[in-house]
């Protein structure tokens, strides 16, 4: 067993997942929590850096990594590959770092099958009206486009009950405290504490 | 399933358990968390109130309650009965209140057998020297008495690994935050959230 925990975090578009993850990463030391960086075969967009936003990889290299079982999960989207490197995650977990995977319910399913100890968190919006507000965005899109986003969000949300924890992102600070509480509580589980504080426990019981 | 969670909290004498419980109860609304009040056949001490510190009960009534299966756990200590009322706890849990039982590892075992969903927390001191300091107290006791307390503490601590969560009470505020985080995280579990926010979830998915 490794000392860090692996977390899947999923949400429909508009639930505020990315803001929550960014706030969490900004608040906690890099030595305690990190966001997993995916491999992809798509080209970098302006401002995107290799090793920061993605590991940019050629089609051939990606397929080689697939054949070697390198990926915890991978998918092909619009002709490009996206994947999550298992060795990179394992290294962080062994160092005691909690690792977050920002992934949809389908990726979550793949990972749960391979790593049943993964913890999963689903973020829900506080109401349908608020979700719609957030999906309307700057009001430059047609009603049809917005309805399409809404349908996609409802379809994603219908899988909320496959997750271990559910956070309603009504008040941002409350949701952030809740997210942090999950990380803190999971670190207090007896099995992890027994390993982390082995010497101290031996002294107390000696 | 009820909306409140039942917690067992155990610790050796000197770990600071009572201060942590008191701070938790002072910080959180009475509608969210409470400490279970035991029944006892011993006489009230000065300042102790019925229904606040204990439910003071006659021997005959207590034995009648035992025969009715009223107690989640009970024990006889120095000729007096002490017990935890199951119906009182169930009422609070159904109201969504988290209930804490301040109990030793033996009581914890009895409760786990009857209620496998109970969550249990063990508080440990930060070092053996610190534990000894706290057990010396005001320095009015003989070395033998202190050694007796120490042996009892070590014996209690040897059961820490039967508990779900372990908190090291080194810095009091950190330990209190950890205790609260467990309560918050357990309330975010999907099954509880699904019941608590049933109407909202139906609206979101509708």
Q: What is the ipTM of this complex?
A: 0.92
Is residue B79 a known part of a binding site?
no
Cα–Cα dist B45/B39, whole Å:
14
Lowest mean pLDDT among A38-47, A130-139, B151-160: A130-139
Convert the pLDDT of each residue in B159-179 to its tens digit.
999 999 999 999 999 999 999
Convert the pLDDT of each residue in A135-156 to its tens digit.
887 778 888 998 999 999 999 9
Looking at residue B189, the DSSP 8-state letter turns out to be B
B177 touches chain A (CB under 8 A): yes
pLDDT at B1 over 80: no
Q: Where are the beta strands (DSSP E) in chain A?
A: 6-10, 33-35, 39-40, 55-56, 71-77, 80-85, 98-102, 119-124, 165-168
B7 touches chain A (CB under 8 A): no
List chain B residues with CB under 8 Å of A164.
Answer: 189-190
Cα–Cα dist B61/B19, whole Å:
32
Q: Which two tokens stand for residue A44?
A: 């970098």
Instruction: Tell me the pLDDT band of A92, cut-offs 50, 70 and 90.
Output: very high
* Inter-chain CB proximity A157 and B125 less than 8 Å: no
pLDDT at B10 over 70: yes
The whole domain housing B177 covers 6-36+97-205
Q: Give B202→chain A minimum CA distance, Å.
A: 10
Q: What's the structural domain count of chain A?
A: 1
Convert the pLDDT of each residue in A153-176 to its tens digit.
999 999 999 999 999 999 999 999
pLDDT more than 70, % of chain B: 100
Residue A165 lies inside a defined structural domain of this protein? yes
Residue B54 lies inside a defined structural domain of this protein? no
Is residue A17 a known part of a binding site?
yes
CATH of the domain at A163: 3.40.50.300
B79 touches chain A (CB under 8 A): no
List chain A residues with CB under 8 Å of B165.
Answer: 185, 188-190, 193
* Inter-chain CB proximity A185 and B177 less than 8 Å: no
Convert the pLDDT of each residue in A74-84 to its tens digit.
999 999 999 99
Instruction: Tell me the pLDDT band of A1, cut-offs 50, 70 and 90.
Output: low
Residue B187 lies inside a defined structural domain of this protein? yes
Q: Where are the beta strands (DSSP E) in chain B?
A: 6-10, 33-35, 39-40, 55-56, 71-77, 80-85, 98-102, 119-124, 165-168
Residue A157 lies inside a defined structural domain of this protein? yes
Residue B77 lies inside a defined structural domain of this protein? no
Convert the pLDDT of each residue in A99-144 to its tens digit.
999 999 988 998 999 998 999 999 999 999 999 998 887 778 888 9
Q: Are B160 and B169 in contact (CB under 8 A)?
A: no
* Inter-chain CB proximity A128 and B204 less than 8 Å: yes
């Amino acid at each position: 067993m490794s000392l860090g925990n692996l977390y899947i975090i999923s949400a429909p578009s508009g639930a505020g997942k990315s803001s929550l993850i960014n706030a969490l990463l900004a608040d906690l030391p890099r030595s305690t929590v990190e966001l997993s960086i995916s491999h992809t075969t798509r080209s970098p967009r302006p401002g995107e850096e290799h090793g920061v936003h993605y590991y940019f990889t050629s089609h051939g290299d990606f397929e080689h990594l697939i054949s070697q079982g390198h990926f915890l999960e991978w998918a092909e989207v619009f002709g490009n590959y996206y994947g999550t490197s298992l060795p990179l995650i394992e290294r962080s977990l062994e160092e005691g770092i909690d690792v977050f995977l920002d992934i949809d319910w389908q990726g979550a399913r793949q990972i749960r099958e391979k790593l049943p100890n993964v913890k999963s968190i689903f973020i829900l919006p506080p109401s349908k009206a608020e979700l719609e507000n957030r999906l309307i965005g700057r009001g430059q899109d047609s009603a049809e486009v917005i309805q399409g986003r809404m349908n996609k969000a409802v379809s994603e949300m219908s899988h909320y009950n496959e997750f271990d924890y559910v956070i309603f992102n009504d008040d941002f600070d409350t949701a952030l405290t809740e997210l942090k509480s999950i990380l803190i509580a999971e670190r207090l589980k007896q099995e992890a504490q027994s390993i982390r504080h082995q010497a101290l426990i031996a002294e107390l019981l000696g």
